[in-house]
Amino acid sequence: MFWVTTQRKETKTTLDQTLAESNGISKQIGKLIKQGEHEKAEEVKRKTAELKEKGKELQHLLSG
């Protein structure tokens, strides 16, 4: 039981960090586009998509 509780807390912490990172990176996209850095914006979009997918997987682990 202790291991399950510890694992759940670690997963929740990782999820929170992943979502925070995704949100922070997402804010950069508009700025990059306004600066004409479309290639960099696309790179950031891909990174955000990866983080969101990781977040979904972690959320699934927590709910399952």
- Whether residue 45 has pLDDT greater than 80: yes
- Whether residue 3 has pLDDT greater than 90: no
**pLDDT (tens digit, 9 = 90+) per residue, 29-44?**
999 999 999 999 999 9
Across 20-25, average pLDDT: 94
- Three-state SS sequence of 1-63: CHHHHHHHHHHHHHHHHHHHHHHHHHHHHHHHHHCCCHHHHHHHHHHHHHHHHHHHHHHHHHH
Tally of residues, the chain: 64
**Can you give the pLDDT at residue 1?**
64
